[in-house]
Amino acid sequence: MYRLLKDDGKLLIKEGVKPPTGSEGEKELMEVMEKYDTIEKPYEPQYLINLLKDIGFKMINIYISIDGFFKQNHIEKVLHVPISIRVSNIPAENTIIAYKKEYITSKNPNVLKASIKVLDFPKEVKNGSLFEIQIKVKNIGDTIWIADPDPVGEHVTIRAKLLDKKGNLLDDSYGGTTIPRDLKLGEDCILTLNLVAPTKRGEHLLKLDMVDELITWFEDKGLKPVLLKLKVL
């Protein structure tokens, strides 16, 4: 199977976990084999992972199926406790996606770099009014930006901070938006930030920066954020 996959191929495995010796699960499995005259050989999770690594798969993710696929370590982060393969009504199954090629993504980033170009921006706005900023962002690092929002972060967004005219921070969560799809090196997209103008009249600054959510601001990795002057009338 490994040799049949393309270089960027992946393999989905969804099968039962080997039940403990002497358990009700083992008894039930033996009864099924006797009834249908079949041979079943479920694997323990770690054995299966080691087998996939020995074959040559570079990246192996463990999922739990709960009306969809969710990474086991992501569920653990949300619950703040380690979990076994059998949780509540979750069946005791190995659900694994093994990748022939290893990818560097925003879930475990290396170089996070971006080009941020402002396409449309109103330099003057009425206080309390709605306004938009159109931005073109381009991935110029070696890390794939994941688009799908996740409660534990690790996806990429663009965010705006509100500063006063001297550069003092007023609001570090002034606005933001997600990217529409995963972006590889050299890929770009156009985003629209929908913002509400400050109520206080006068000059302000907007700082635009990319974020690997719950991991890092791109500025902390060397990216120079975009600063925009905003006059509130």
Residue 5 lies in a domain: no
pTM reported for the whole predicted model: 0.65
pLDDT tens figures, 181-197: 999 999 999 999 999 99
Decide which of 68, 99, 130 is a domain's last residue. 99
Range(s) of the domain holding residue 191: 114-232
Given a cut of 90, whether residue 153 has pLDDT beyond it is no
Residue 210 lies in a domain: yes
At 90 the pLDDT is: 41
d(CA 13, CA 33): 21
Are 60 and 31 in the same domain?
yes
Decide which of 46, 70, 99 is a domain's last residue. 99
Are 15 and 75 in the same domain?
yes
d(CA 126, CA 146): 35
Are 44 and 119 in the same domain?
no
Confidence label for 169 from pLDDT (cuts 50, 70 and 90): very high
Are 78 and 171 in the same domain?
no
Are 123 and 82 in the same domain?
no
CATH of the domain at 192: 2.60.40.10
Residue 206 lies in a domain: yes
Residue 28 lies in a domain: yes
Residue 4 lies in a domain: no
Residue 14 lies in a domain: yes
Residue ranges with strand state E in 53-201: 59-65, 69-71, 93-99, 114-120, 124-125, 130-139, 156-164, 169-178, 188-196
Are 206 and 157 in the same domain?
yes
Number of domains forming the structure of the chain? 2
pLDDT tens figures, 196-214: 999 999 999 999 999 999 9
Given a cut of 50, whether residue 89 has pLDDT beyond it is no
d(CA 4, CA 12): 14
Confidence label for 11 from pLDDT (cuts 50, 70 and 90): confident
Residue 105 lies in a domain: no
Decide which of 64, 99, 134 is a domain's last residue. 99
Are 43 and 81 in the same domain?
yes
- Rg of the chain over Cα atoms, rounded to whole angstroms, equals 24
Residue 50 lies in a domain: yes
Are 49 and 135 in the same domain?
no
Given a cut of 80, whether residue 79 has pLDDT beyond it is no
pLDDT tens figures, 21-60: 888 877 887 888 888 887 777 777 788 888 888 888 877 7
Are 94 and 138 in the same domain?
no
Are 196 and 94 in the same domain?
no
Given a cut of 70, whether residue 84 has pLDDT beyond it is no
Are 127 and 223 in the same domain?
yes
Residue 71 or residue 193, greater confidence? 193
Using the structure block, give the residue that is written with the tokens 């049949």.
Answer: 4
Are 79 and 136 in the same domain?
no
At 83 the pLDDT is: 47
